[in-house]
Amino acid sequence: MQTPSVKVKVIMETYSNSFSLTSTNKTISLVLLGHWNKTTLPLIIKKLSSISLQHKHLEIDFKELESCDSSAIIYLISLIKQKEIHNVTLKNLGQYEALYTLYSTYFTPIPKAVLEKSYIFGAKNIGIHTVAIYLGIVRAVYFIGQAVYFMFLSLIQPKYIRFKAMLNHIETSALNALFIVGITSFLVGIVIAYQGSVQLQKFGANIFIVEMVCITMFREIAPLMTAIVIAGRTASSYTAEIGAMKITEEIDAMRTMGFEPTVFLTLPRIFALIIALPLLIFFSDMVSIFAGSIVAYLDLNVSFSEFINRMKDTVEIRHFLIGIFKGLFFGMAIAMIGCYRGFQVQNNTTSIGKYTTISVVNAIFVVIALNAIFSVILTQSGL
Amino acid sequence: MNIIEVHQLSTHFGNNLVHDNISFQVHSNEIFGILGGSGSGKTTLIRQMVMLQEIQQGSITLLNKDIASLSLEQSQAFKPSFSYLFQFGALYSFLNVIDNIGVMLKEYTQLPEDLIQTIAYTHLTMVGLPLSCAKLFPSQLSGGMKKRVALARALAMQPKLLFLDEPTSGLDPSSTQSFNELIVQLQQLLDLTIVIVTHDLNTIKHVLSRFILLDKTIIFEGNYEKALQEKSPTIQNFFKHKE
């Protein structure tokens, strides 16, 4: 018998064959229909989320359900657990009972800590970065110290020099770079001489092309150009080589066998570049001066023999020697940076790329910075 | 019903014959083992099944599809229906644990992000990993943890067919036990068909419903009890050293 004062409102709707809802004042009964799986679920979620299920008794009926996969089960569990619904009844679970029990045992909502954003995030980052920079400096100092120690040790006791490895590195990082160094030097030589010749012609000071090309090339441009090419080419390959060895645990293997990685990996590379870079700079000098003399001949009517004689008379040997001398330090810096970044690689694939990039950027910057320092010091001291 | 049918498969690398005319079937809802010594072609076989290596002679049929004849589009659509658990996990090093588990759902379905995350967290708990490792990257995990994450990743898509390449190698005995129990439990609840390459006696004894023993050809097919009764010295040897 029904009391006429209480009206029971019943709404029933069916949503595209995936579920039907019967809702009364206190109870919502959700009858699942058809297939609930990864493909149908996005639409179901959209429809269900627009319906308020809160503060009512929810009844879920699995009777008409044809198939159901784990994503759907997890969605249903999250629906039941997260919206604070009172009294959920599951009807006719049947074949899905085991699946439901399994996933409700292991069900894990997204932890709150992940969802909440920390307001001190910025401050925390400053701290993290400061510590990282400090540790980075400590590690770099330690690495440089170790390399320098073994360098001097190997000068006293040459058995520490791995000649074969060193020659190998000279071949790959210098001999194989001759072509690219040559072509860059040739082009830069042409450009410098050509731009200079336009200005010099205005004053009729054609012969000064010799000093201009030779001094700028010997002293500044050839060493810098060569060092930058080698920094891009060799620093990256050193980092990648050592980084790959670090990932495959070769470096750890060396340590356990008592082979000091500094002696076996770093030193041959440092020595290789200390020897090879001055030689490359000499090569670059020759090519760029040749390029300059071609421009001088074609543009300013300065013959090759005039060029050479003028060079002998007016260009002092110190300009050439300063360029070569700088090469020693550039070579050492490039090799050290390449190796140092290689040893920093961590055990994942993205880290090789990251440190190779850092290594090249560092090497080029350090070369330019060193060059500036040398330029000021040497000019101030009258050389 | 046969989920996998391998028919007269032969494979050779140069002069080295790896498979010599092998044929077998894997029935639905069974846990099938591929056993054999080192270099017996187990991994090559499983890699051919998951379309990583080409089939030189013979055919392999997965879920009624001849995998050699699938076009690029067909194979793309077919691939989500099975999962392959690599021996060392092969997790994506640029994604954290949770994103690794959810990566297939994210790419193949239109499910909302928070549900994908919930599914990922649920599977993380299911394979027995603590929530604290959810945001870690693969390089910060131990070998066993990587394997569990890889299993969670394989399960998240709920494939019909699961390939496991030495799932318990490198795990401690108690983890091996719980891993095996989990596999059996999941197989029953999720109606999976599982193909396992394994060396582990515990797995052979308690998990596999049937297995083949490979040594270029199939030298044995059956279960553990049947294998113990075999008189052939090769088979006896294989199991003797496992004890």
Cβ separation B121–A110 shorter than 8 A = yes
Task: Name the one residue in this structure whose structure tokens are 């709150």.
Answer: A112
How high is the pLDDT of residue A275?
95
Q: How far is A93 from chain B (nearest CA, A)?
A: 14
**Residue A117 predicted with pLDDT over 50:** yes
Lowest mean pLDDT segment, chosen from A207-221, A339-353, B72-86? B72-86
Select the highest-mean-pLDDT range: A118-132, A363-377, B29-43, B155-169: A363-377
Q: What is the mean pLDDT of residues A156-168?
A: 89
Which residues of chain B carry a pLDDT beneath 70? 240-243
Q: Number of residue pairs across A and B with CB atoms under 8 Å?
A: 84
**Residue A375 predicted with pLDDT over 60:** yes
How high is the pLDDT of residue A84?
60
State pTM to two decimals.
0.71
Of B141, B145, B133, B135, which is closest to residue B95 (Cα–Cα)? B135
Question: In terms of DSSP bridges, do strands A34-36 and A65-68 run parallel, antiparallel, or are they unpaired?
Answer: parallel
How high is the pLDDT of residue A327?
95
Q: What is the pLDDT of residues A229-276, one digit of tens each?
A: 999 999 999 999 999 999 888 998 888 888 889 999 999 999 999 999
Q: Is B241 left (phi over 0), alpha (psi -120 to 50) or beta?
A: alpha
Question: In terms of DSSP bridges, do strands A19-23 and A27-32 run parallel, antiparallel, or are they unpaired?
Answer: antiparallel
Largest Cα–Cα distance of chain B, in whole Å? 57
- Domains of chain B plus CATH, in order, are 1-69+162-243 (3.40.50.300), 90-159 (no CATH)
Confidence tier at A83 by pLDDT (50, 70, 90): low
User: Is the pLDDT higher at B149 or at A88?
Assistant: B149
Half-sphere exposure of residue A374, counting CA atoms within 13 Å on the CB side? Answer: 21
Half-sphere exposure of residue B50, counting CA atoms within 13 Å on the CB side? Answer: 22
Cβ separation A109–B118 shorter than 8 A = yes
Q: What is the pLDDT of residues A181-203, one digit of tens each?
A: 999 999 999 999 999 999 999 99
How high is the pLDDT of residue A149?
93
Confidence tier at A360 by pLDDT (50, 70, 90): very high
Select the highest-mean-pLDDT range: A49-53, A108-112, A126-130: A126-130
* DSSP code, position A2: -
A231 φ, ψ to 5°?
Answer: -60, -45
Lowest mean pLDDT segment, chosen from A36-40, A167-171, A233-237, B23-27? A36-40
Query: What CA–CA distance (Å, rounded) separates A93 from A96?
Result: 5
The ipTM value here is: 0.77
Cβ separation A108–B114 shorter than 8 A = no
Locate the chain A residue with the closest alpha carbon to B127. Answer: A106
For chain B, say whether A2 makes contact (Cβ under 8 Å).
Answer: no
Query: What CA–CA distance (Å, rounded) separates B159 from B108?
Result: 13
Which 3-state string (H, E, C) describes A6-44? CCCCCEEEEECCCEEEEECCCEEEEEECEEECCCCHHHH
For residue B118, the chain A residues in CB contact (below 8 A) are 74-75, 78, 107-110
Query: What CA–CA distance (Å, rounded) separates B231 from B216?
Result: 19
